Amino acid sequence: MPLKKKVAAEFLGTFWLVFGGCGSAVIAAAFPGLGIGFVGVALAFGLTLLTMAYAIGHISGCHLNPAVSIGLAVAKRFPASELLPYIVAQVAGAILASSVLFVIASGKAGFDLSAGFASNGYDAHSPGGYSLLACLVAELVLTFMFLVIILGATDRRAPLGFAPIPIGLGLTLIHLIGIPITNTSVNPARSTGPALFVGGWALQQLWLFWVAPIIGAAIAGFAYTALAAEPAETRMKPAAMAKTA
């Protein structure tokens, strides 16, 4: 598949992830009397990823997340030469999604960016008031587990055709855990889009939502590769059988 098509798919997919996930948080979660709450927002993120995995997974791999691309590159599942174009496309898609969401959300009287606009934060800007250390650890661990799920579900030995389901459900679970802590990032692109509109504290704290997910993803890339490596005798077995046949 040509790189320009892969990049276009990543742009579109990340747009949908951020528009659907953050849109549910900004518009639907707080709707008077009928708000979807944390569970609804968590499902929205999981469903956007699941739907895009089936829609564009065969084109770009459906990373939609700089940390995922980096983790896959560390695990040697993705060429490092394509990292920068993927990351640029993902961030651009997130920014466009945030722009569209801003236009829609600001069409309601009383809209105020100071409410957070689905931005991620720590300390006073954590939904549950969690400290910088707590948020850093949460983002690192949650991203680590997300990459383990992705690497396992897409392993050539895993059942074919089902990977989007555990990956989408995994992101849902991650949000159920992480929304009260940081509003859940595990995705630097998803964090960057809303932060550009909120400015101030959101931009000042954005570093955490790049650093922690990338570190967690990179560790997962190394760890899963070591965990899932086949023993030498297993890898040699087909050749040995062919020789004796």
Half-sphere exposure of 202 (CA within 13 A, CB side): 21
pLDDT at 215: 98
Compute the distance between CA of residue 85 and CA of residue 81 in angstroms, rounded to an integer: 9
| Consecutive 10-residue averages of pLDDT for the chain (245 residues) | 96 97 90 83 96 96 97 96 97 98 91 89 96 98 98 92 95 97 97 96 97 98 91 52 40
Residues in Cβ contact with 163 at an 8 Å cutoff, skipping those fewer than 6 apart? 53, 57, 150, 153, 154
CA–CA separation, 119 and 197 (whole Å): 9
- What are the tokens at 140? 């690192």
Task: Report CA dihedral (208, 212, 215, 216) to the nearest 10 degrees.
Answer: -170
CATH of range 3-103+115-229; options 1.20.1080.10, 1.25.40.10, 1.10.1060.10, 3.20.20.140: 1.20.1080.10
Angle at 85 between CA 84 and CA 88, to 5 degrees: 85
Residues contacting residue 211 through CB under 8 Å, at least 6 positions apart: 136
Radius of gyration of the chain (CA): 19
Task: Tell me how far apart the alpha carbons of residues 61 and 151 are, in angstroms, rounded to a whole number.
Answer: 12
- pLDDT of res. 30: 74
> How far is the C-alpha of 132 from the C-alpha of 91, rounded, in Å?
24
> Based on the number of CB atoms within 10 Å of its own CB, is 226 exposed (0-12), middle (13-18) or buried (19 or more)?
exposed
| All structural domains of the chain with their residue ranges | 3-103+115-229
What per-residue confidence (pLDDT) applies to 204?
Answer: 97
DSSP class of 23:
H
DSSP code of residue 159: P
Element spanning 233, H or E: helix 232-244
* Distance separating alpha carbons of residues 88 and 71, to the nearest angstrom: 16
The answer to whether the pTM exceeds 0.75 is yes
Q: How many residues does the chain have?
A: 245
The C-alpha atoms of residue 5 and residue 146 are separated, in whole angstroms, by 25
Show the DSSP H helices in 61-182 as ranges. Answer: 66-74, 83-105, 132-153, 164-182
> What CA–CA distance (Å, rounded) separates 162 from 55?
13
Contact in structure between 46 and 169 (CB atoms under 8 Å): yes
